Amino acid sequence: MAIAFAAGDEALAAVLTGTVVDAGTREPLEGAIVTVASERGVDVATTTTDRSGRYAVRLNAGRFLVRAALPGYQPRYHGGGRVRGPALDLGAAGAVNADIALPRAAELAGTAWRPDGRPLHPGYVWLIRRSEPLEYYSAPIAEDGRFRLDDLPPGNYQMRALTYDPVARQLTSPDWDWPHPVALAVGEPVHLDMHLEGDQPEPNWVGLVTDEAEKPVPGVQLMILRVRDAQGAEGTEGTEHVSVRRTDAEGRCQLDELPPGRYRVTTTDVPPPYAPWRNPDPRVRGAEAYARHFEIGDEGQAVTRLRLQRGRTLSVRLRDKEGGDLPGGAGVSLVLWHRGDEPFGGDGFFARPAMVGAGHLEVRGLLPGAVYEVRLADRDDGARWCVAAVTGSRERTLAVPTGGDPEPLEIRLRRCGR
């Protein structure tokens, strides 16, 4: 988990320029939105192209990602694809050029109606493109039931309508699938009206989450994976993503029509003051330490019960290198990593940091008895603040007590280059 703090304004010395064109005709595209983000994906600037397809952005020195988007075109990163591109190095002075070519897109529009004839709002239309790997796209449904996507790659799509459950804080789809694949092509807009039916299938898997006193815990996000026979990276079992669900007010979530097989469920987002579920058996390592397994047979219903314990809180204070208060906007990136659990996939810990005052935050949901590595980035997204010390050292191990909170952590910062 990375915790980033925005940096304050300073002189902008580097200049990023470029041209956005049609990938097929090479004609310049006016009005394209160009977004510049830090290497960690934090947006730092946005502009639009002129009649010549040109744009220019003044920035601090650093490494940045550049993305262009325009209705009727597929968005693209400079030097990359729709999702990601390589970072550009901007020095302290001078200009860097980043041209982007956008391919034409397919378009889909329509309406979605509930079984009682009301518009499906709040709701989303969800598309799955039958490619390798699968690609997912979505669009919100307006108050009048209309939806529109104008940046899709051509291809065949499965289509589903979803509605939002405010208690579970999740999108749900009571078997609202379009009955056949939708073929989309460039230059051939498609319009579809979805009139939904109200039958709710019986679930064949139910997840129940409670605290140590057996009280239901709402708002817990669970990830459900299907376990394959093949082995994955680091010698772990191969898995296939199935779904993500949040528990409702009764601490319950469910899935229907899961095919027979072996499955794994993990907690991926847990509200405070609880910690992520972890297998109490100390012999279990890696991804298995955070997973419960269940089997789906040809008949019957599988139920998975997860009991959460109260998490611990780490208090973090930011100071200047002499121990005094920092000016507004100073920042650093902090990552907590479970020691010995790297096969978990590089995340290892999920929690919700909370700012409790100037230069003071709390990291909540630490597992009692767990050991974390504290890893710090050298600087913030604006490349202005560097780590001077962390309670006397650059890296440290954080052991969480079983009976209370860990000792507070102090991070001292200095201006980079000083």
pLDDT in tens, 17-58: 999 999 999 999 999 999 998 887 788 889 999 999 999 988
The pLDDT of residue 329 is 65
Predicted confidence at residue 244, as pLDDT, reads: 83
Which has the higher per-residue pLDDT, 203 or 350?
A: 203
Contact between 392 and 409 under an 8 Å Cβ cutoff? The reply is no
Q: Where are the alpha helices (DSSP H) in 96-203?
A: none
Neighbours of 143 (CB within 10 A): 8
Share of the chain above pLDDT 90, in %: 34
Judge whether residue 85 has pLDDT over 70.
yes
Q: Which of 91-95, 204-208, 227-231 has the highest mean pLDDT?
A: 204-208
Say what the pLDDT of residue 340 is: 54
Closest CA to 37 of 63, 15, 19: 63
Let me know: does 361 contact 316? Beta carbons within 8 Å. Answer: yes
pTM comes to 0.54
276: DSSP letter: P
Beta bridge partners of 371: 399
At position 19, the amino acid (one-letter code) is T
pLDDT in tens, 332-384: 667 676 665 544 444 445 455 677 777 888 888 888 887 777 776 655 555 56
Is residue 107 within 8 Å of residue 72, measured between CB atoms?
yes
Percentage above 70 pLDDT, the chain: 81
What's the pLDDT score for residue 9? 41
Q: Distance of CA 273 to CAs 250, 266, 363, 369, 405, Å?
A: 18, 18, 10, 16, 12
Whole-number pLDDT of residue 167: 53
Residue 323 has what pLDDT? 87
Name the pairing type of β-strands 33-38 and 106-113. Answer: unpaired
- Domain architecture of the chain: domains with CATH: 2-102 (2.60.40.1120), 106-195 (2.60.40.1120), 205-308 (2.60.40.10), 312-415 (2.60.40.10)
pLDDT above 70: residue 136: yes
pLDDT digits (tens, 9 = 90+) for 228-284: 865 544 445 678 888 888 898 899 988 877 889 999 999 988 888 898 888 888 787
When the pLDDT of each residue in the chain is averaged and rounded to a whole number, the result is: 82
Could you write out the DSSP letters of every residue in 79-90?
TS-SS--PPEEE
- Other Cβ atoms within 10 Å of 48 Cβ, number: 13
